[in-house]
Amino acid sequence: MAQYQLVIGNKAYSSWSLRPWLAMKYAGLAFDEQRIPLYQDNHDTKIRQYAPSGKVPVLIDGAVTIWDSLAICEYIAERHPGKKLWPADIAARAHGRAISAEMHSGFSSLRRSMTMNVRRVIPGVAITAGAGADIARIDAMWSDCLTRYGGPFLLGAFSVADAMYSPVVTRFKTYAVKLSDAAQGYANRVLALPAMQEWYAAALTETEVLPQFEYQGSSA
Ligand SMILES: N[C@@H](CCC(=O)N[C@@H](CS)C(=O)NCC(=O)O)C(=O)O
C-alpha cells in the first residue's frame, strides 16, 4: 500500500481531480488511486466516507485528510520540497500562487460553458462572451509567464501552477480554441507530458457518460 491515497472522480470529466493527480504523477510520488464515478451509485455518500465536503479530489496521508485540489497541491509541495513543485524564488512563487488562486476561484464562464471532457474533440462551438473573456485572460497570462520565466512551463520548470491549468489545456483541445502561438505551444507541451497521456488513455477506458458534462450547446 502506498503512503498516499488519492480519491478522484471520472478521468473523462473531473477537472479538479486532474490537478493534484498530475502534480503527484509529475513529481513521481507513489499513490493508490480510488476512483468514484460522479453523479451515480450514491457517489455523494461514497465521497463523504473520505471527506466532509462531498467533493473530489481528496488526499489521504495516514491520519491527515485534505480535500480541495489546491490545498492538496500545496501539501505535497511542502511535504516534498526536493520535488520543487514551486520555484525557489519568492516573487515567482507568489506569482505562481496568484495565478493558481485565480484559476481556483475564477474563469466560471469558461468552466460552465466548456466543461472538461477529455474523450471528445468538438470544434466550432459557439463561444460565449464570458468564456471568450476568460480565454483571452488565460492566453495573456500564459504568454506573460512564458516570456517572464522563459518556459517551457508557466514558471519555468513544471510547477503547481501548470497542474492547476492542466484541465484548461484539455478544454482548449476539446473545443479547438484558437490561441496565440505562445499559448498553443505551452498547451502542446502540457498535453505531451507522459502523465497527461496516461490520464487521457485511462479516460478512454471509462464507460460512464454523464450528460451534464457532455457539450449541449449548438455549433457556431
Ligand atoms: N474547490 C474544489 C472543487 C471540487 C469539486 O467541485 N469537485 C467536483 C468534481 S470535479 C465534485 O466532487 N462534484 C461532486 C458533487 O458535487 O457532488 C477543489 O478545488 O477541489
For residues 119-124, give the mean pLDDT.
95
Residue 213 lies in a domain: no
Q: Are residues 94 and 201 in the same domain?
A: yes
Using the mean position of ligand 1's atoms as its centre, give its distance from the Cα of residue 55 in Å.
4
pTM over 0.85: yes
Strand order in the sheet with 58-61: 31-35, 4-8, 58-61, 64-67
Q: Are residues 139 and 165 in the same domain?
A: yes
Q: Which domain holds residue 14?
A: 4-83
Pick from 14, 15, 16, 42 the residue to mutate for probing ligand 1's pocket: most ligand atoms within 8 Å of its CB. 16
Pick from 15, 47, 55 the residue to mutate for probing ligand 1's pocket: most ligand atoms within 8 Å of its CB. 55
Using the mean position of ligand 1's atoms as its centre, give its distance from the Cα of residue 22 in Å.
16
| Separation between Cα atoms, residue 140 and residue 92, nearest integer Å | 17
Q: Are residues 144 and 200 in the same domain?
A: yes
Q: Are residues 51 and 149 in the same domain?
A: no
Residue 182 corresponds to which cell in the numbers above?
505562445
pLDDT in tens, 24-66: 999 999 999 999 999 998 999 999 999 999 999 999 999 999 9
Model pLDDT, residue 93 = 98
Q: Put residue 51 in one of left, alpha, beta given phi > 0 → left and psi -120 to 50 → alpha.
A: beta
Using the mean position of ligand 1's atoms as its centre, give its distance from the Cα of residue 54 in Å.
8
For residues 154-169, give the mean pLDDT.
99
In this structure, how many other beta carbons lie within 10 angstroms of the beta carbon of residue 73?
A: 28
Q: What is the CATH number of the domain that holds 163?
A: 1.20.1050.10
> How does residue 215 score in pLDDT terms, banded at 50, 70 and 90?
confident
On the question of pLDDT at 220 being above 90, the answer is no
CB contact at 8 A, 196 and 166: yes
| Separation between Cα atoms, residue 146 and residue 99, nearest integer Å | 13
Model pLDDT, residue 218 = 56
Residue 214 lies in a domain: no
